[in-house]
Amino acid sequence: MKVAIIGGGISGLSTAYYIKKLALPVSEIIIYEASNRFGGWIDSKKISINNESVYLEKGPRTLRLSTGELKEINSIKLANDLDLGSSVEIISKEHPAATNRYIYFNNQINILKPKLFGKTPLMSKGMLRLVYNEFRNPPRDPSVQDESIWSFISRRVDREIADNLLDPVFKGITGGDIKYLSAATLLKTFYKYESNFGSISRGAFNAAKSPLNQFDERYQDLVKLKENYRGQSVWRLKDGMQTLTQRLAETLSKDDNVKLSLNDPIQSIKVDHSKKEKSIKLTSKNSEQDVDIVISSIYSKLNNKFLPDKYEELKKFLSKIDAVNMVVVNFVFKEDVLPFKGFGYLVPSNQKSPILGCIFDSVFNKPDQKNTCLTVMLGGAWFDEYLKNKTSDEILNMAYIEIRKHLNLKVEPDYHEIAILKEAIPQYKVGHLKLLDKIKDSLKEHDLNERLYLTGFSYDGIGLNDCIFNARKLVQEDLMNNSLIKNLLK
């Protein structure tokens, strides 16, 4: 049994890891990476300021643990299994990075702390009033299967909450505009609560009483670990998040049955449907291989570069998942320039700022560290509006002018770095779940459902925890039930 994995980012590396971890009867795994490094959007750079090491991140910077979901526990388990414990810094739920989140609104930075009664600068109603209104609001028409996040929250809770809270939060997470993003996908639990119980609040109340569900039963190793991480907010890798993908690649490279191939983009895939085994001829820049299964972890549209034209319908569906361009600017100052401590701040669309938000990376500094590191995010759904045809220097200047105004900065940065990331974050727009169903149906129609598997951030979660957990699910649930693999397991 020979498996090819396309893409050497966190999804591709994690998939290969779980194939080995769960001992599937696979004799060879080949990971094809088009670039000159493994890790994908996880990309860390070390610099020195004041003789202090600073790690700049272009992509994810922490492993989140705040909700205790199984996908979060799974990522922590992976880090532990890779012996990364000595590289981990645990951030508690009492740390300023966990407790202090801010929104820039009406020309000032406002802490995100709703009140039970009375208004705040971001909310004209207290939480109890909002919950009461949500409870009383009628449920949507059962024929409506999806709508935008903005529509859903405005209808169920309050338009002000959609504009001032949900809008900036999803800008920070997805780089997207909630007037187009799918509520059924990105607020899946809440959307189902309304479908099943008539309101979000009723659904949450019933969920709190529910016993362990069937999904949890399949991942008992994670359920048993939940109690170990109560009170923890995030895990941070001291030498940058790239430590995670580097360790994955190093671990896989030590296995004689795993081949890691850099600078090796896929050029074509040909499927011989008359054969059961070794039915796929995979041609890359550097080799040609006959394999049994192909797992593609790259951005959906990139698959169309090598899929045959006879899969025109599948290619059409894959091309419908758009992705936004992002710009990440890192600023480093030799001194502490922040007026307050916290994770950072986000900017609602109604504030007409070219930046999406600013992360205070130096909130994790030790007491003796004096530098300030800030990461400014720009672009996303607003890339063309603010950044189209702008040079890197113009974008840098734009980013600094904004944070200087927002944070009342008095000094210039001592170091800066800019990265323009093309098609960086897929957008789960209204109808995304139906589109996924069409992709699955098309794979079956073309007799590809046990030959070609799709994973990664284009389909069912863009976060680091999503990508790692979806890789495990693909192996544990889909590959375990692949007929070729089941025959080998007999």
Regarding whether 433 and 372 lie in a shared domain, the answer is no
316 shares its domain with 327: no
What pLDDT is attached to residue 118? 86
CATH of the domain at 98: 3.50.50.60
* Domain end call among 382, 397, 426: 426
Q: How far apart are CA 41 and CA 325, in angstroms?
A: 12
Is the separation of the CB atoms in 469 and 75 below 8 Å? yes
Residue ranges in the chain modelled with pLDDT below 50: none
Q: Is residue 357 part of a domain?
A: yes
Encode the chain in three state secondary structure. CEEEEECCEHHHHHHHHHHHHCCCCCCEEEEECCCCCCECCCCEEEEEECCEEEEEECCCCCEECCCCCHHHHHHHHHHHHCCCHHHEEEEECCCHHHHCEEEEECCEEEECCCCCCCCCCCCCCCHHHHHHHHHHCCCCCCCCCCCEHHHHHHHHCCHHHHHHHHHHHHHHHHCCCCCCEEHHHHCHHHHHHHHHHCCHHHHHHHHHHCCCCHHHHCCHHHHCCHHHHCCEEEEEECCCCHHHHHHHHHHHHCCCCEEEECCCCEEEEEECCCCCCCCEEEEECCCEEEECEEEECCCHHHHHHCCCHHHHHHHHHHCCCCEEEEEEEEEEECCCCCCCCCCEEECCHHHCCCEEEEEEHHHHCCCCCCCEEEEEEEEHHHHHHHCCCCCHHHHHHHHHHHHHHHHCCCCCCCEEEEEEEEEEEECCECCHHHHHHHHHHHHHHCCCCCCEEECCCCCCCCCHHHHHHHHHHHHHHHHHHCHHHHHHHC
Q: Are residues 366 and 305 in the same domain?
A: no
Which tokens hold the place of 145? 């299967």
Same domain, 115 and 189: yes
- Does residue 447 sit in the same domain as residue 414? no
**Which of 426, 459, 479 is the endpoint of a domain?**
426
User: What is the reported pLDDT for 237?
Assistant: 93
137-140 CB contacts, 8 Å cutoff, 24+ apart? 137/199, 138/198, 139/194, 139/195, 139/198, 139/199, 140/194
434 and 454 fall within a common domain: yes
Q: Confirm whether 229 is domain-assigned.
A: no
- pLDDT at position 370, please? 85
Measured on CA atoms in the order 245, 247, 248, 249, is the torsion positive or negative? positive
How many independent structural domains does the chain possess? Answer: 2
Residue 356 is part of which domain span?
A: 94-198+323-426
* 0.85 surpassed by pTM: yes
pLDDT of 215 reads: 63
Those residues with Cβ within 8 angstroms of residue 112's Cβ, 6 or more apart along the chain or in another chain: 101, 102, 103, 122, 165
* 408 and 439 both lie in a single domain: no
Asked if residue 166 and residue 142 are part of one domain, the reply reads: yes
What's the pLDDT at 26? 94
Q: Tens digit of pLDDT for each residue in 13-61?
A: 999 999 999 999 999 999 999 999 999 999 999 999 888 889 999 999 9
Tokens of 412: 């210039």
Closest CA to 329 of 394, 260, 269: 394
Last residue within a domain, chosen from 426, 452, 468: 426
Has residue 254 been placed in a domain?
Answer: yes
**pLDDT per position as a tens digit, 312-345:** 999 999 999 999 999 999 999 999 999 999 999 9
Whether residues 404 and 443 share a domain: the answer is no
- Same-domain pairing of 421 and 357: yes
